[in-house]
Amino acid sequence: MVTTAAPRNIRGGEVLIPNMAYHIAIQTRVPALAWGGTGVVKTQGNAALAKALGFKFYPLIGSCHAPEDFGGIPFPVFNEGHTELLPMKWVRKTRDPYWFIFMDEVTTIPIQVRPPALSMLSERRIGECVMHPTTIICGATNPPELAPNAAPLEKSLLNRFYHHKWEFPLAEWVKGMRQGQNFDEPKVTILPDNWETYIGKWSSLVGNFIMSRPEMAEEDHSKCDDDRLSFASPRAWSKAALLLAGAEACDAPVEVYVQLLSGMIGEANGSEFVAHLHATELYSPDEILNGDVTVDWQKSRFDVLACLPSAIVGAIKSENSDKRFSNAVKFFVELCEHEADLALYPLLELMPLMPDGHRLDQDAAVKFSGVVRQMEQGVN
């Protein structure tokens, strides 16, 4: 039995949670930028989202900040003979877990503030302060023509964001109005703790697609529409894989996959990738590890097999047992016989996960040692 790599279709009677793609993006730590008109509860919606996730909400207004708010204030250290950058209090707090940094009115960020904002978005660093891994960074903005002192964002800044068309939660708003403006907590999509186990699968799919279509790795901006918010680049494709991993982890409907791809790499690029997915079949790693299916090594295409090793390792990290690890070893033994190059680096991740007391059989030990030798020869 195989499962399609393409996203599932929406189920009958299923209701999409407003801004579900946005919820997924921020939890994968891909900076998300919500675009919408004025008064459509972007700021209040993000504050409620932070509360629902259990994070501390900290809003930043783009037009109200100077470079030193991000880069720090020069402070002389006389006894050491140099100057250090003293960060703002809110910056130091981001070293602690569970902060939700919300940048509002992003198109009004002054030109001189945009470079440190880029560093914050791409490196998750503010001056010399490295943010805690749990920190969420996202933002919202109106189109430049609707905001005072606004200017279009540069391509280098646009390419750091997943661009989301904000959906005004009309039904929730009407319900709250009918309750005397007593609004319910918003519905929020929460990613499971093991969502990262899907990263290997989607990264492999993206890598295989780009290998077959190298011209789509990045775009020639001299030939593309300057008004587009999202476009392809190696960075954008890498972030797209994270978004798709999050979407699969929460069993998102196909509409959400399309939103995530369009908002990260552009509508045309996303459509081509989805078409590629519909033509690609994947084995379920859990079914392999549970012994329910075996891989047909003769009939399976190379791009299918290339996705499996990292997916198997990810599934073991999510749930490990003697049986599942034994089936993982069996899979890698067979992989070494057919496509040894695909086993090299995933094996290094697999072996430290061996359950206590588990012992490799002689055939596996021989094949794996041969792969390790092959790797060492390649390095040397």
pLDDT tens figures, 239-293? 999 999 999 998 898 899 999 999 999 999 999 898 877 766 677 788 899 999 8
- 80 has a pLDDT exceeding 80: yes
Between residues 25 and 335, the one the model is more confident about:
25
Q: Quick check: is 76 in a domain?
A: yes
Domains of the chain: total: 2
Report how many helices (DSSP H) and strands (DSSP E) the chain contains, helices first. 16, 11
Q: Quick check: is 238 in a domain?
A: no
Q: Give the domain-ending residue among 134, 164, 188.
A: 188
Q: Quick check: is 99 in a domain?
A: yes
| pLDDT given for residue 307 in this prediction | 77
Distance from C-alpha of 40 to C-alpha of 45, rounded to nearest angstrom: 9
Q: Give the domain-ending residue among 132, 166, 188.
A: 188
What is the distance, to the nearest Å, from the Cα of residue 135 to the centroid of all Cα atoms in its chain?
14
- 375 has a pLDDT exceeding 70: no
Q: How confident is the model at residue 148 (pLDDT cuts 50, 70, 90)?
A: confident
| pLDDT given for residue 379 in this prediction | 44
Q: Quick check: is 50 in a domain?
A: yes
Are residues 172 and 287 located together in one domain of the fold?
Answer: no
Q: Quick check: is 27 in a domain?
A: yes
Q: Give the domain-ending residue among 188, 223, 245.
A: 188
Are residues 174 and 304 located together in one domain of the fold?
Answer: no
Q: Quick check: is 136 in a domain?
A: yes
Identify whether the C-beta of residue 157 lies closer than 8 Å to the C-beta of residue 107: no
- 350 has a pLDDT exceeding 50: yes
| pLDDT given for residue 117 in this prediction | 75
Q: Measure Cα distances from 313 to 167, 181, 332, 343 in Å.
A: 37, 49, 10, 11
Which residue type sits at 27? Answer: Q
Determine the structural domain holding residue 320 and report its residue range: 283-379
Q: Which two tokens stand for residue 176?
A: 């709250």
Distance from C-alpha of 219 to C-alpha of 59, rounded to nearest angstrom: 33
Q: Quick check: is 208 in a domain?
A: no
How many other C-beta atoms can be found within 10 angstroms of the C-beta atom of residue 13? 5
Are residues 159 and 39 located together in one domain of the fold?
Answer: yes
Q: Quick check: is 42 in a domain?
A: yes
Q: How confident is the model at residue 134 (pLDDT cuts 50, 70, 90)?
A: very high
Q: Taking residues 336-349, what's their average pLDDT?
A: 83
| pLDDT given for residue 8 in this prediction | 45
Identify whether the C-beta of residue 270 lies closer than 8 Å to the C-beta of residue 230: no
User: Can you give the pTM of this predicted structure?
Assistant: 0.76
Which phi and psi (to 5°) does residue 194 adopt? -95, 20
Are residues 161 and 295 located together in one domain of the fold?
Answer: no
One DSSP character per residue, 135-195 reads -EEEEEE--GGGSTT--PPPHHHHTTSEEEE----HHHHHHHHHTTS-PPPPP-----TTG
pLDDT > 90 fraction of the chain, expressed in percent and rounded: 27
Are residues 324 and 182 located together in one domain of the fold?
Answer: no
- 193 has a pLDDT exceeding 90: no
Are residues 173 and 33 located together in one domain of the fold?
Answer: yes
Distance from C-alpha of 219 to C-alpha of 205, rounded to nearest angstrom: 20
For residue 51, the domain's CATH number is: 3.40.50.300
Q: Look up tokens 């204030």; give the residue.
A: 73
Between residues 380 and 197, the one the model is more confident about:
197
Are residues 296 and 181 located together in one domain of the fold?
Answer: no
